[in-house]
Each structure stands twice: as C-alpha cells, then as structure tokens.
Amino acid sequence: MFRQLRSFSAVEVTGADAGSFLQNLLTGDVEKLTRERAMVTAWATPQGRVAFCFVLLTIADGFLLLIPTARHEALCRRLELYRLRAHVEIKGAGNAWRVALHVDDTASASHDRYTVSRDEGDNRLAVTPDGGRLWLQVARDEFADDAPPADDVITQRWGELMVHNADPLCSCEAEEQYLPQTLNLDVLGGLSHTKGCYPGQEIVTRVRTRGQLKRRMQLMRVAPDVHVTSDMPLFHAGIEATQGYIIAVAESVDGHIVLAAAPWPASPSDTLLTREGALLTPVEMPYTLPSSG
C-alpha cells in the first residue's frame, strides 16, 4: 500500500508558456517528455553546478516537479524569480497534490526507469524509479488515498534502494557541488547536449567538448564497522588532495553501499580511501557508464 511521503513535495507549473519556460531553465529536454515516462533532471547555476535535482513529469495542463520537501520552498522562489512576463502559474506549498510512496521488495529492479502510469484525468499518477520495486504516487487531494504516513523503516528502505539504483535524486542535499555529468544525468536522459540554452550550459558543454570531466557518481562498498557520511572526502593513498566525495550512504550489516563522486575514468590502481584509511571497493552499477569522461 502507498504511504504518505512528507519528505517529498510537488511543485505545479502550468500555463501557456509552461513548456518553454522550463525548457529554457532545465538541463533536460522538456520537449522529449512523454505521458509514459518521467525524467530526472536538474536546474544548474550559471557555473554549471546542480542547484536542484528533481523528477519532472507532464500533466494535462502543465508539469509537476517532485522534489524533497527541504528544497521545495527554495525551488519555488527560484521559479518565481525567473518567471518575469511568462504566462506561467507556479503552485508550491499548499497546492492540491499529495505525494506517497510504496516499496515492493518482492519485485525486481529493472533498467526501465521512471515509467509513469496515470488515470484518464491526470488526477492520480504513479512513477517507478526502477521498473517496479519503488513507486512514487502523486495525486490531487480529492483523489488521494487516506494513507498513513510512511514510518522510519519504510522511508529508510526507500533511501537505501535509491542508493542501490545510483539515482541522481540521492544528491539533493549537495547543493551547487556537482556538474550534471558527475551525477550521470547525461547517461540517464536528464541532460541534453542538443537543446537550446539554459543556465550553466556554456560550462557544461565546455567540460564535455574538452573532455574535462574528472568524476562520476559510482557505487562502492565499505566495511560495516566504518563510519561514513554524505559529503565525506575521499583520497588516494599517499596523496593529500581530495579525490572525491561520498554523496549518499545505504547502511548494511554486510558492508555499507555508498554513492560517491569518484575519479573517472576509473583505474584499478586508483584505490579510494577515507581519511582514516578505510578502503572503498567498486560495486557494479545498475546502468552503463561511458568508457571516458
């Protein structure tokens, strides 16, 4: 059953200019969105760093942006700042949408990410980040189930599986630290190199054309007795300079799985360590990364 997910919120963007408004702001190609598939995309700063990462999906009269509640208000303020004369309506806190989650541990994850099912009037939509194991439901108040809140166990399980999925949404707390390519948005369809201009495009394109991408988000394992947290720096043996950062952690008795912004292309000789010397070993990714930056 679905349970209310108070840590996620929806922002509704509607109006005659809603599509072009978002197309000019986001790293992903909004024009390629379909009713059957959502997109994890981002809003970058002029310096090309990801300021907001969220799920974008269409509704009958516009778009919904699903984002952690902690970043919801800041995203609404940024959207209003850029609205200017665009014929767009932005509804943030107090809008008519509720977000719920469901975790089905009996299902298997697949590569079919962010498929969408919806009712005829777009009053209730369900999005699966991994093909059926995880579900986000967003529904208008009058169509939403009277579901109980998600407890800590379910919320933690959701977070763990998102880490195992190497999902860019795991980076939401890391404001303005990473390039879209570092979060693998180019691999997952949330970054377009062929659409028109958007904030930070010059930097993002320069990194791509000059082959200057140094890090990508990767899965790694660390021993269960090692204390690791998000934003923890990583190092190579004998080198003082920081080589990467932990983005998110899924704790486990068998060894923690972490998402790390780590050197790329990876070399077998580039052993990553925490400051205390704990070893991180690579784990197979659920999707294929390019062979070079």
Q: What is the pLDDT of residues 174-204, one digit of tens each?
A: 889 999 999 999 999 999 999 989 999 999 9
Judge whether 112 lies within some domain: yes
- pLDDT of residue 269 exceeding 70, the answer is no
Q: Phi and psi (nearest 5°) for 187?
A: -75, -35
For 130, the token pair is 């991994």
- Which strand (E) or helix (H) includes residue 187? helix 185-188
- pLDDT of residue 267 exceeding 80, the answer is no
Question: How large is the average pLDDT for residues 13-40?
Answer: 97
Last residue of a domain, one of 139, 171, 203: 171
Q: Decide: 27 and 198 in contact? Cβ < 8 Å.
A: yes
Question: How large is the average pLDDT for residues 224-231?
Answer: 91
What pLDDT score does 145 carry?
A: 81
Q: Decide: 219 and 285 in contact? Cβ < 8 Å.
A: yes
Which residues constitute the domain of residue 223? Answer: 214-282
Q: What is the mean pLDDT of the chain?
A: 92
What pLDDT score does 169 carry?
A: 94
Judge whether 20 lies within some domain: yes
- pLDDT of residue 141 exceeding 90, the answer is no
- pLDDT of residue 262 exceeding 90, the answer is yes
What pLDDT score does 293 carry?
A: 58
Question: How large is the average pLDDT for residues 62-69?
Answer: 95
Question: How large is the average pLDDT for residues 107-123?
Answer: 89
Query: Among 178, 52, 167, which residue's Cα sits nearest to residue 114?
Result: 167
Last residue of a domain, one of 150, 171, 192: 171
Residue 114 maps to which CATH number?
3.30.1360.120
What pLDDT score does 12 carry?
A: 96
What pLDDT score does 107 carry?
A: 85
Structural domain count, the chain:
2
Question: How large is the average pLDDT for residues 152-173?
Answer: 91
100 lies in the same domain as 236:
no
Q: Between the CA atoms of 198, 200, 203 and 208, what dihedral angle is there, to the nearest 10 degrees?
A: -50
What pLDDT score does 96 carry?
A: 86
